[in-house]
Amino acid sequence: MVMDIKSLVPGQTSLGLNKSEKSKNKRKSGGSSDASASSEDSINITGKASQISQLIQQMKASPAVDLDRTSPIKEKVDDGSYEIEYQQVANKMLDFESSYYK
């Protein structure tokens, strides 16, 4: 069964088949109106959705920059004592590039 997820709205938990689709499905299953014979596909994502929502709120509340890590570097740049470690920068660049070819 193909499900068009683009037409679902937030909070919708079932496929919401219209009457003609339900009758087609009923005919395919032998026309039985027994609850065990006819079933409707559904999905419940409320738990995961709430976890994702909480994580998004935590991310929005946290600062974009970690001042504990950036403050010492900023001070060194401002007073002119920051030294670039060229060998370390080159190695990191090579590591980054090689990670694409593994």
pTM for the whole structure:
0.36
Q: Is 38 helix (H, G, I), strand (E, B) or coil?
A: coil
The pLDDT tens digits of the residues spanning 29-73 come to 554 444 455 578 877 677 888 899 899 999 999 888 999 999 999
Q: Return the structure tokens found at 27.
A: 């005919």
Look up tokens 């694409």; give the residue. 100
- Give the span between the Cα atoms of 5 and 52, in whole angstroms: 19
- Give the span between the Cα atoms of 7 and 16, in whole angstroms: 11
- Delimit the domains of the chain by residue range: 68-102
On the question of pLDDT at 98 being above 60, the answer is: yes
- Give the span between the Cα atoms of 68 and 78, in whole angstroms: 16
Q: Which of 22-31, 70-79, 88-97 has the lowest mean pLDDT?
A: 22-31
Look up tokens 């499905």; give the residue. 25
Q: Tell me what pLDDT residue 35 has.
A: 47
